[in-house]
Amino acid sequence: MSAARGNRIVNGYLAQVEIALRELPTERRAQILAEVRDHIARERASVAEEEESDADVFRLLDRLGDPVAAAARFSAGVPAAPRTGWHEVAAVAGIFLAWPAGIVLLWLSRVW
């Protein structure tokens, strides 16, 4: 794998982390991204560039995973985004089975 390809994979990951941190103040978001970028660079430097594979880069990013963004959001006091629950599932089913009930459930949903 070429270093350019590994860099594209890492840049895609960092873009996703930045999107996940969009509720944070700009300075804090930049600080977290810099820390993550430095950590990735240190980990990648420990592997010879010629020997680094796509799988190596993906394994590194998987170890970092979503907890990076979740921990940063938690430390900043930003609540997690609402998750899909039974309201949303029932709303979609209700639209097809009993559309007035589905519309009411959609209206009550925190996600939509």
User: Which pTM does this prediction carry?
Assistant: 0.57
Q: State the average pLDDT over residues 41-47.
A: 85
Neighbouring C-beta atoms of residue 17, cutoff 10 Å = 21
Question: How far apart, in whole angstroms, are the C-alpha atoms of residue 68 and residue 32?
Answer: 9
Q: 73-96: per-residue pLDDT in tens?
A: 656 666 555 556 766 666 667 767
Question: How far apart, in whole angstroms, are the C-alpha atoms of residue 14 and residue 19?
Answer: 9
Q: 65-74: per-residue pLDDT in tens?
A: 665 665 666 5
Q: State the average pLDDT over residues 13-25.
A: 83
Comparing CA positions, the residue from 64, 59, 56 lying closest to residue 37 is 64
Boundaries of every domain in the chain: 3-75, 82-112
Question: How far apart, in whole angstroms, are the C-alpha atoms of residue 76 and residue 70?
Answer: 10
